[in-house]
Structure 1
Amino acid sequence: MKGFEHLEREIRDWRDKGVFRSLTELESDQGSIVTIGGREVIQLSSNNYLGLTTHPRLKETALKAVEAYGAGTGSVRTIAGTFTMHEVFEKKLAQFKHTEAALVFQSGFTANVGVLATILNEEDVVISDALNHASIIDGIRLTKAGRRIYNHVDLDDLKKALEETQGARRRLVVTDGVFSMDGDIAPLPEIVELCERYDAIVMVDDAHASGVMGKNGRGTVDHFDLHGRVHIQVGTLSKAIGVLGGYVAGPQVLRDYLIHRARPFLFSTSHPPAVMAACSEAIDVLMDEPERIDRLWENTRFFKEELNRLGFDTGKSDTPITPVMVGDDALAMQFSDELLEEGVYAQGIAFPTVPRNQARVRTIVTAAHSKEELEQALRAFERAGKKLGII
């Protein structure tokens, strides 16, 4: 069909540069071992931090919800009515996060977009870390507020941004709690102190800290004991929680306002019963099985230390997100392909997801990985790394 020639040219350019990737089909559930092309390989690209996607309690609860309430909900919550289970789960989530209220969105992406595009106007300024998630960037693009990007985790630059914007009605400082590509943790106590000094709102995207950091996986706010000092917490229900969706946790007034004005909430059908029931059960599992988080961190420390011992550069990661830095875009993709040949699925990440010349293979170990699986993966990394001259 004519009219897409410009797209075809771009795709040819990606192919020539060795960065075009096809979707990988999984022929199994999302566990520590997955089946790709009829082969069982070790999964090191999943956000399934705690192995909850296949937890028996979540599966059983989801099936019961379908039998009781059906496959879907029929419409948006403000029009067709909201299921009681949505309200009950949001109250449970708010209690878990130690906030007044919580509101569930269709994804972590729409939660960030929903907040940023809704609560700010042209009198306000949003101040954002340079390496924040794409959903934060897109949310900022949709707001009429002014914007200021500060250098990654650079507190001096953040302070300068706060000083330069004191004429605004309201400043909102937004940061990832854990940065998704590098695995480093935001200096949240220092950010909060600066915002208190300059009377700014703090918003934290804890997508990669929910279920991973803090007591029972409550996130970075709990990890740093900042309850009551962070105004807005955004998170996901589709990574460590193991199901689907996103949430906003904060004061009741924020929830009330978003219900009336946040377009992703107002114009999207609510999650089906199976999703809500499984998410609710996942919170109970976090409370009942804290050893899963302990095992996640034990696996993380072992894998990271062994990669470094082999000579790989794992950047500045402090979390289960462990990038294996390569640099060249095409080489990172080639490294990923070699790993798959060796029985390990670990995706290459290149521009525009990360800056140019900072391509990497991004790995995430989980609580579900056995030490034997991680040792097997490390041997694969060693063979592929030596073959390509990375180590």
Structure 2
Amino acid sequence: MTGLAQVRQALHGLQQAGLRRTLRTCHSACAPQLTVSMAGQDASPMLAFASNDYLGLAGHPALRAALIEGVQEWGVGSGASHLISGHYAVHEALEARLAASQAAHIPQAGALYLGSGYLANSGLLPALAALAPSEIFSADLNHASIIDGCRLARCPAQVWPHQDLAQLAAQLQASRAQQKIVVTDAVFSMDGVIAPLAALLALCEEYDAWLVLDDAHGFGVLGAQGHGALEHAALHSERLIYLGTLGKAAGVGGAFIAAHADLIEWLRQKMRSYIFTTASAPALACALLAALDLIEGTEGRTARAHLQDLRTSWQSMALPDCWPRLTSPTAIQALLLGENQAALDLSHALWRRGVWVPAIRPPTVPAGTARLRITLSAAHSLADLQRLQHALQAIHREGL
């Protein structure tokens, strides 16, 4: 069998298993109302519950203006990696602002700005493990970037079952590693569950471990000021290593790591995904500074309150019992379908009615737990939720 024949056979296998993903093309700016096309189809208007733009900032006029001003001042590209010549004053200002956002929770906090959350997780764990002989303890529903970071760390790694703190405690107690690293999503991206943050920190204090929190889906949304999971749980410790992404609630792109300034300096020296990549465009940092102003200000508080109202309304809406809702206190709301084809069929039925809700299947979620992942945005209205509800009810009446 030739190489291409093997590729085609593998693609056919994905198709048969209901695991082949479909690329959709957006023809308008990120918003609940989008114009979208799929291969071989004309673009059509869609009501989207598919993005992570939780505060509706991706198209905000203030961010647009800041980005344009940033391009005028700083040009387009950074020209090099941060440690060569690609680190600009506006990058430094952004890192200082991000460190300040976590300063109430991490003593002597510093911050490192990177191009994506994937770069952050895949680089952080290997650099941290290089400090001393280490063992990593990873939550079993962690994001793929954390899993890859564990592999790249090239040290023993154990997986602890979802929310099973007794098992984690037993693993930590049995470990003889010089350095222990506990890593978890703060908000699990496929079901919206918040990790037991205070209890995790207590275990790390007891067993002398770092606690790495990937707050990709909490930064901007959780906490009175939108500072994320540490603010939400009122945590404070020098053991905390906090990762927030900036392409979700912040509406732009990139990620940051906040930790004690000494550890941040170590990461700057040793983190390969930071050292060996071109720095993000400085104009993006200008847009992110504007986003932080909105997140921390009146507009951010209003958006978070509206998001909470939408979540409460959605959870009270009548839906067919055959598609159970997963309980979540966040903007991530999911309907459990179980089988891959069932999730695809329901997603396609909604698409035909002009509503876009992605079907999530393995390996993103465990086998047998395929679902529709509904993500709410402050840019949604109650009428948008009612349209989704009515579409689901109509599909059920028609016998799907």
Where on the TM-score scale, by shorter chain, does this alignment land: which range? over 0.9
Structure 1 position 274, deviation (Å): 2.2
Letter in 1 for 2:94: F
Structure 1 position 228, deviation (Å): 2.8
Q: Which residue of structure 2 aligns with residue 143 of structure 1?
A: 153
The residue matched to 2:158 in structure 1 has which SS? Answer: strand
Distance 2:86 2:330 in 1: 40
Q: Which runs of 5+ in 2 are unaligned?
A: 38-42
Distance 1:132 1:34 in 2: 30
Query: Is 1:255 aligned to 2:264, yes or no?
Result: yes
1:359-370 superposed matches below 5 A: 359-370=370-381
Structure 1 position 237, deviation (Å): 0.4
Structure 1 position 47, deviation (Å): 0.2
Aligned residue among 132, 141, 152 for 2:142 = 132
Structure 1 position 365, deviation (Å): 0.9
**Deviation readout 1:343-373 (Å, 9 max, x if unpaired):** 1100101111111110001110110001111
The residue matched to 2:85 in structure 1 has which SS? Answer: coil
Q: Which runs of 5+ in 1 are unaligned?
A: none
Q: Which residue of structure 2 aligns with residue 20 of structure 1?
A: 20
Q: Which residue of structure 1 aligns with residue 40 of structure 2?
A: none
Structure 1 position 244, deviation (Å): 0.6
Q: Which residue of structure 1 aligns with residue 190 of structure 2?
A: 181
CA RMSD after TM alignment = 1.6
- Range with bigger deviation, 17-26 or 242-251: 17-26
Q: Which residue of structure 2 aligns with residue 215 of structure 1?
A: 224
**Cα gap change, 1:163/1:34 in structure 2, threshold over 3 Å: closer, same or farther?**
same
Letter in 1 for 2:363: P
Structure 1 position 378, deviation (Å): 1.2
Distance 1:387 1:197 in 2: 56
Any conservation in 1 of the 2:113–2:255 contact (CA below 8 Å)? yes
Letter in 2 for 1:146: P
What TM-score does the superposition give when structure 2 sets the normalisation length? 0.94
Q: Which residue of structure 1 aligns with residue 332 of structure 2?
A: 321
Q: Which residue of structure 2 aligns with residue 64 of structure 1?
A: 69
Q: Which residue of structure 1 aligns with residue 115 of structure 2?
A: 106
Structure 1 position 330, deviation (Å): 0.8
- Range with bigger deviation, 140-149 or 307-316: 307-316
1:132-281 superposed matches below 5 A: 132-165=142-175, 167-228=176-237, 230-281=239-290
Any conservation in 2 of the 1:71–1:272 contact (CA below 8 Å)? yes
What TM-score does the superposition give when structure 1 sets the normalisation length? 0.96
**Cα gap change, 1:44/1:372 in structure 2, threshold over 3 Å: closer, same or farther?**
same
Any conservation in 2 of the 1:335–1:385 contact (CA below 8 Å)? no
Any conservation in 2 of the 1:221–1:230 contact (CA below 8 Å)? no
Query: Is 1:95 aligned to 2:100, yes or no?
Result: yes
Structure 1 position 7, deviation (Å): 2.1
Distance 1:230 1:207 in 2: 19
**Cα gap change, 1:275/1:81 in structure 2, threshold over 3 Å: closer, same or farther?**
closer
**Deviation readout 1:168-198 (Å, 9 max, x if unpaired):** 1110111110001111110011111111111
Distance 2:150 2:318 in 1: 37
Distance 2:327 2:159 in 1: 21
- Range with bigger deviation, 4-13 or 338-347: 4-13
Distance 1:229 1:273 in 2: 30
Any conservation in 2 of the 1:192–1:229 contact (CA below 8 Å)? no
- Runs of at least 4 residues of structure 1 off by over 4 A? 307-311
**Deviation readout 1:129-150 (Å, 9 max, x if unpaired):** 1001111000000012211111
The residue matched to 1:28 in structure 2 has which SS? Answer: coil
Letter in 1 for 2:25: E
Aligned residue among 293, 296, 317 for 2:304 = 293
Distance 1:219 1:134 in 2: 21
Q: Which residue of structure 2 aligns with residue 379 of structure 1?
A: 390
Letter in 2 for 1:223: H
Distance 1:233 1:84 in 2: 23
Percent identity over the alignment is 34
